[in-house]
Structure 1
């Protein structure tokens, strides 16, 4: 046997042994794990994922992507919540910023003169400007080319991470990073967004006033200096960029996508829109801007917004995180480091909690007297310690943006309402709203 053949044989033997060891190891580990489909060596459950419906596949095989855990998460979350509160999270100053931005959005809708248009970037510009005012200390003009380019990249990545390539990269980055394909564009976009954030940080560093922080970045820079001698600190330039990036992206796409779903739903069900009109006219009128305090007096509108969030199910797969210690669960042992993926869609579409979960029905959140009723299964922002840090801000934005637009416009579709399809064209990490045209007719 020649040397080349001997080396080839040795390679085959080594690979075969590795596969067998991997398979044996997986079988041993799975003895105490909850039941599920047996993974193949190396490939795992890759072949069981359906490219056209990643979310359904994850419901079946329970695999996912991961984000920060442990001490890093605790330090950054505590700081983020504290800073957001200091800059008015839940206070009148943030409400005023949202009301001001809603006025700009109303004017942009008015400029369309009732002609059909795609609301995607109308909404993302307005919603993004709220988080920009907190993180960067300023809003951007709607015609700012850099701002528009940035929003386009964020939108492309939000869609891309829910498509097959983005999901596969998260699970098999060790292979996918070497392969060409559309997923590579996601990381070029991410680098561009990071560069934008890094430039904003440089601007803040050059004009930082420790006694008068202007925004989230200033506060982070000051905290970095305070902890510069702490070896266990998580406050570094890299974590600042990623924290700002998370706030920026999450604060833009989740709320704007929910509003896009909401307007599509309201066009399909004009009778629902008419009832919201009536409540707005009765409780707010046309002479003043909607305020957060109005929501408590508007049970039907409140129910509609809750049902939009439930039905649109924008982040159905939630954000997975690793167990910090071995955990007993229903007689099974989940090892430390196991990635747990609580599917929010399983409760938002739970037939035991909602009478007809596949149908849009504001009655899911109304009692027999027409008063708003809570439902423990309503958790679009997740729950417990990992509940979305921006949940309070998102609730304010959804109410003020939606009521401000419906105070001024009737939303209609260029096509027959019965022909409007509410099915997300992409369903994975996120449910992506269908692309559509709407007409904003002055009321």
Structure 2
């Protein structure tokens, strides 16, 4: 009996080795792949990955040419079970992605040009935040929830047609789930799961917790859709959900329409999640940088006094007259690099790129072709384009006369066809929030500037700021 078991194990191992070697040979026939460490069958380059910081292992040249060839959407197994290829910002591809992206951009633009523009929504919400900060009376606070709620209410007013009270328990719970989801997606385990999801999906682990968080967010969106459906008037759309419902109604006779309830829920979730976390993370990291470099905060306040004064609220038109503040915000975005790994792209056809061949064809163990990660962080810290790439240096975005200087390699919102649809909204929010807050408050750290640690707490899919407290002292 023991001999039979041993023989069975030996044969199973032998068969596994043959399958792995066959797959390796099939993969190697694809052509000349880009340079890198030699992969091991099945494990790939896992042994070369730094478990405590996977992003550092992937710093290769960013792919910025041949946009059509790289316009496919790669897989992210950590959240694929939630999205299943639906939604518009991150998970869909092909014709579905084109249709839903075009629609989302149109709706966002329409709400920005309506009777009550997005800028007015941001200014109003900034006012609520300032009230919250005044109520702290200069006591130490941890800013995450404050910033998440205020930023989220801007996108909530667009997608749900309403803002939420800061003390609303459901709203606070949603903010915590979004923040926790972003942290979970950025943990080292998530990057390993994205590599080996087809195997690890059958095992218990933290990926199940992330799945539950996103499913809870989906349930909330679905409940908001039902509320809209109950009072829906096609002649008077109130928000993004209403606009999508109109398209569902118009296309009801088309069984292949992309305007359906599943895409509505997941596209709305895309907007809600991205419109909450990325800007609030940048603000939170920005506060930390300004406390570490108080001379930069002082120069911003000086420019605010010169251009805006201390009484009227800042407006978007002020930005053109405030080059130093604009430069600081850009430098915060560059140093923060909120989503350094980027959402994976996939080649849409067999692709020749700078002398290398990236195959679309499948292999024995790979369900699709070559995934490409647009490593934004590599260009944002390239010394060819930024004089002091690892330092916080606002002069990167100023010319010798002190005028704002654009930099074509500033690609924090990605580039090409998958450029972030919320870029314009995010830029408005960052300028109005930073100037509104610094106009009324000084940022005070609980430790001396030299002791402030600005290193990422976690670096993976996203760069997560350290947890800290600060005091907001009224001028």
Partner Cα separation in structure 1 for residue 218 and residue 370 of structure 2: 29
Alignment of 1:121-136 (within 5 A): 121-136=145-160
After superposing the two structures, state which structure 1 stretch, 337-346 or 248-257, moved more. 337-346
Report the CA distance between 1:440 and its aligned residue: 0.4
Shift, 1:72, TM fit: 1.3
Deviations 1:284-326 (A, max 9, x none): 1122110000000001101110111111111111222112222
**Greater shift in the superposed pair: 189-198 or 81-90:** 81-90
What secondary structure, in the 3-state scheme, does the structure 2 residue paired with 1:286 have?
A: coil
- Tell me what 1:400 maps to: 432
Which residue of the other structure, out of 336, 341, 344, is the alignment partner of 1:312?
A: 336
Q: How does 1:12-411 map to 2 (within 5 A)?
A: 12-29=13-30, 31-59=31-59, 65-66=75-76, 67-88=91-112, 93-336=117-360, 337-411=369-443
Contact 1:317 1:344 in 2 (8 A): yes
Residues 120-163 of structure 1, C-alpha deviation per residue, up to 9 Å, x if partnerless? 11000000001111011111000000010111011001011010
CA change 1:177–1:329 in 2 (3 A) is same
Q: Distance in 2 between matches of 1:85 and 1:365?
A: 28
1:293 alignment partner, SS class:
helix
Deviation at 1:38, TM superposition (A): 2.2
| CA-CA distance at 1:236 after TM superposition | 1.9
Partners of 2:345 and 2:374 within 8 A in 1: no
Deviations 1:79-133 (CA, angstroms, capped at 9, x unpaired): 0001111111699611110000000011111111111111011000000001111
State the 1:181 CA deviation. Answer: 2.8
Q: Shift of the alpha carbon at 1:43? A: 2.0
User: In the alignment, which of 429, 433, 439 is matched to residue 465 of structure 2?
Assistant: 433
- What TM-score, normalized by structure 1, do the two folds share? 0.95
- The Cα of 1:4 is off from its aligned counterpart by 5.3
CA distance in 1, matches of 2:269, 2:433: 23
SS of structure 2 residue aligned to 1:412: strand
Conserved 8 A contact 1:69-1:321: no
What is the alpha-carbon distance in structure 2 between the residues aligned to residue 164 and residue 402 of structure 1?
32
Deviation sequence 1:31-64 (CA, Å, 0-9, x none): 32212222222222222221111110222699x8
Question: How many Å apart are 1:68 and its aligned residue?
Answer: 2.3
Q: Unaligned regions of 5+ residues in structure 1, if any?
A: none
Question: Root-mean-square deviation (CA), in Å?
Answer: 2.0
CA distance in 2 between partners of 1:232 and 1:332 (Å): 38
SS at structure 1 position matched to 2:112: coil
Question: Partner of 1:161: helix, strand, or coil?
Answer: helix
Q: Distance in 1 between matches of 2:119 and 2:57?
A: 40
CA distance in 2, matches of 1:90, 1:166: 41
TM-score, normalising length: structure 2: 0.89
Which residue among 436, 441, 447 is the counterpart of 1:415?
Answer: 447
1:5 positional shift: 5.7
Instruction: Indicate the SS of the match to 1:441.
Output: strand
Residue-by-residue CA offset, 1:146-200 (whole Å, 9 max, x unaligned): 0101110110010110101222222222222233333321111111111111111
In the alignment, the residues of structure 2 paired with residue 252 and residue 7 of structure 1 have an alpha-carbon distance, to the nearest angstrom, of 54
Contact 1:162 / 1:430 at 8 angstroms: preserved in 2?
A: yes
Match of residue 71 from structure 2: none
Give the CA deviation at 1:230: 2.5
Q: Contact 1:45/1:61 (CA < 8 Å) preserved in 2?
A: no
Q: Which runs of 5+ in 2 are unaligned?
A: 63-73, 77-90, 361-368
State the distance in 2 between where 1:245 and 1:338 align.
27
